[in-house]
């Protein structure tokens, strides 16, 4: 049974829309800085877990307020039920945003085979240089991780340019200037690239709780460097 954490009303998870965001359990990566261990390891407390039935009851009740539905994770593309989720949400009149780690281009391409299952907006996480994805628990290997990211990015470009974005958390051990250069090489020049600060709390790897986040000055320096490759790079 599908389940996950639900944000019933969000102004930040879907750009430009009042949305509901469902964070599905299970993920194939083990990013050491991730603070959503309960989702990754499928250990969400029952009182915080929303089934598909409860989520769609909420969507039906709130159609007069909400316009967007975000399907996130975990990693939603691991779920074979995803196409039907998108189809059902669109049938209710919702615009659907998908968040993904970019490691499942085959599943993403299948969504594009039918307008009824094609996301209206996609956000892809670009976490570090592809050759360092082994540090995230990725079992594909550097070259295959890069291939998966490239294919996922190419699929995003089937949407209008304002309907996809790329996201990176500024984790000091994983995102340095050389990593930004490698990540930028994967992206279209007109991409929207959004950066977020690292939070050193409740990390899957407890050692990351002791890592000092970048200062505001350091973050702005890194984002400015990213802008030399991708002009629409911003700190969110």
Q: What secondary structure, in 3-state letters, does the chain show?
A: CCEEEEEEEECCCCCCCCEEEEEECCCCCCCCCCCCHHHHCCCCCHHHCEEHHHHHHHHHHCCCCCCEEEEECCCHHHCCCHHHHHHHHHHCCCEEEEEECCCCHHHHHHHCCCHHHCCCEEEEECCCCHHHHHHHCCCCCHHHHHHHHHHHHHHHCCCCHHHEEEEEEECCCCCCHHHHHHHHCCCCCCCCEEEEECCCCCCCCHHHHHCCCCCHHHHHHHHHHHHCCCCCEEEC
For residue 61, what pLDDT is reported?
A: 97
For residue 206, what pLDDT is reported?
A: 97
For residue 139, what pLDDT is reported?
A: 81
**pLDDT tens, residue by residue, 9-48:** 999 999 999 999 999 999 999 999 999 999 999 999 999 9
**pLDDT tens, residue by residue, 106-164:** 999 999 999 999 999 999 999 999 999 999 998 877 689 999 999 999 999 999 999 99
Domain count, the chain: 1
pTM of the predicted structure, to 2 decimals? 0.96
Average pLDDT for 87-111: 98
**pLDDT tens, residue by residue, 177-195:** 999 999 999 999 999 999 9
At 88, is the pLDDT very low, low, confident or very high (cuts 50, 70, 90)? very high
**pLDDT tens, residue by residue, 194-208:** 999 999 999 999 999
For residue 209, what pLDDT is reported?
A: 98
For residue 143, what pLDDT is reported?
A: 86
For residue 126, what pLDDT is reported?
A: 98
Domain residue limits at 183:
3-235
For residue 1, what pLDDT is reported?
A: 79
What CATH number corresponds to the domain at position 120? 3.20.20.70
For residue 176, what pLDDT is reported?
A: 98
């Amino acid at each position: 049974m599908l389940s996950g954490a639900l944000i019933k009303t969000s102004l930040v998870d879907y750009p430009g829309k009042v949305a509901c965001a469902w964070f599905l359990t299970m993920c194939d990566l083990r990013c050491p800085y991730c603070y959503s261990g309960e989702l990754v390891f499928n250990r969400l407390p029952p009182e915080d877990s929303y089934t598909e039935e409860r989520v769609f009851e909420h969507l039906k009740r709130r159609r007069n307020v909400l316009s967007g539905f975000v399907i996130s994770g975990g990693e939603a593309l691991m779920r074979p039920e995803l196409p039907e989720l998108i189809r059902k949400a669109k049938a209710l009149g919702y615009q659907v945003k998908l968040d993904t780690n970019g490691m499942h281009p085959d599943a993403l391409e299948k969504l594009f085979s039918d307008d009824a299952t094609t996301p209206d907006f996609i956000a892809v996480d670009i976490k570090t240089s592809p050759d360092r994805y082994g540090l995230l628990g990725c079992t594909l290997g550097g070259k295959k991780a890069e291939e998966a990211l490239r294919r996922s990015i190419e699929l995003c470009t089937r949407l209008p340019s304002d309907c996809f974005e790329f996201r990176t958390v500024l984790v000091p051990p994983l995102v340095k200037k050389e990593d930004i250069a490698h990540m930028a090489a994967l992206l279209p020049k007109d991409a929207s690239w959004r950066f977020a600060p690292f939070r050193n709390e409740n990390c899957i790897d407890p050692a990351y709780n002791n890592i000092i986040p970048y200062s505001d000055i350091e973050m702005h320096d890194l984002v400015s460097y990213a802008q030399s490759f991708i002009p629409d790079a911003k700190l969110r």
